[in-house]
Structure 1
Amino acid sequence: MTALEAVRARRSWSRVTDDAPTPSELAELVSAAGRVADHSSLRPWRLIELRGSDRDRLGRAISKASGDKGRSSKPLRAPLLVAIVATYRKSEKVPRWEQEAVASGVAHTLSLLLDEAGWGVIWRTGWYTRHKAVAKAHGLGKNEALLGWLYVGGKPPTDRPGRRKPVEAADHLSRMPAGKKREGTKA
């Protein structure tokens, strides 16, 4: 499968089976995903692998953030969660937003690689990604922000295609507008 075919076939999997890639399989894909464009090679990201009881701890942190007792079952929807963390570096050339874009690029590339390798993936976010209890559960530093989690598991059998419609490029792609001719200049 080519990269173009893999991207066209990609879909989000809100339900997955209990199968998941091994730590070594995940590490190989993370290594490849880390090749995204990265101004000044700051590598302003890290990923946190959550399996087993890690998901229970996250569920308790989400409940705490919500003001609830007990444990949210959201993290139990997949056997593997990969937390996406933007790790901001001091740089005069690369602003924070660009560093966050790099972390997002790594996450999206990883989701494409996981999908192409046969795994069901969905990127989940929520207001609680920026809550103190959830940040503490992940061991985030003051220079870090949680961007969400890739929920990863086996693809269940289905004959139902993804819900996303193809993008019409003409709706989103244009040329730069021609500049106005200034007096006394040749355009």
Structure 2
Amino acid sequence: MSALEAILRRTSWSKVTADAPTREQLLPLIEAAGRVADHSSLHPWRLIELRGDDRLALGAAIAETNGDSEPSAKPLRAELLIAVVVSYRASEKVPHWEQEASAAGVAHMLSLLLDEAGWGVIWRTGGYTRSEPVARVHGLGADERLLGWLYVGGKPEGRDPGRRKTVDADAVLSRMPGAAARG
């Protein structure tokens, strides 16, 4: 399958089975995902694998953030969550927004690779990604921010994940103002 075919086939799986890739299965995919555009090769990102009771700890941190008395069940929607963290690096050339873009690129590339390997994936976020209790449970440093989690599991048989509408490329691709006059 070509990269174009894999990208056109990709969709988010909001419901997945209890199956999940092993750490050993993840490592080569993460290595490949790390090939994203990365100005100055800063590698301004890291990933955190959440399995088992890690998901319960996250549910408690989300509840603390929201002022709820019961832990959130959201992290239990998949057996594996992969937290995507931007780890800002000191750089005069590469601003924080560009480092965030690189980390987001890793998340997207990893979701494509997981999908191609047969896993269902959805990237979940929420206002609590930037909360102190959630940062604490992930062990984030002062120069780190959580971008969200990839929820990973098996693709349920006989279930259509839904179809994304194709983007109207002509509507979103334009020329710079005055380009026609410049030739």
TM bracket (short chain): over 0.9
Displaced runs of 4+ in structure 1, greater than 4 A? none
Is it true that 1:16 corresponds to 2:16 in the alignment?
yes
Is it true that 1:130 corresponds to 2:126 in the alignment?
no
CA RMSD of aligned residues (A): 1.6
Instruction: Please list, as runs of the form range in 1=range in 2, the aligned pairs for 1:31-180 lying within 5 A after superposition.
Output: 31-160=31-160, 162-178=162-178
Alignment size in residue pairs: 183
CA distance in 1 between partners of 2:120 and 2:107 (Å): 14
Deviations 1:18-58 (A, max 9, x none): 00000011111001000001000000000000000000000
**Gaps in structure 2 of 5+ consecutive residues:** none
Structure 1 or 2, whichever has the larger Rg, is 1
1:158 Cα shift?
2.6
Higher mean C-alpha displacement, 152-161 vs 26-35: 152-161
CA distance in 1 between partners of 2:75 and 2:160 (Å): 25
- Secondary structure of 1:49's counterpart equals strand
1:178 Cα shift?
2.2
CA distance in 2 between partners of 1:73 and 1:2 (Å): 37
What's the TM-score, normalizing by structure 1? 0.94
Identity %: 67
What's the TM-score, normalizing by structure 2? 0.96
1:71 Cα shift?
1.0
CA distance in 2 between partners of 1:161 and 1:133 (Å): 32
CA distance in 1 between partners of 2:134 and 2:108 (Å): 22
CA contact (8 A) 2:84 2:107 kept: yes
CA distance in 1 between partners of 2:135 and 2:161 (Å): 35
CA distance in 2 between partners of 1:180 and 1:12 (Å): 39
CA distance in 2 between partners of 1:82 and 1:159 (Å): 23
1:179 Cα shift?
5.8
**Gaps in structure 1 of 5+ consecutive residues:** none
1:69 Cα shift?
1.7
1:17 Cα shift?
0.3
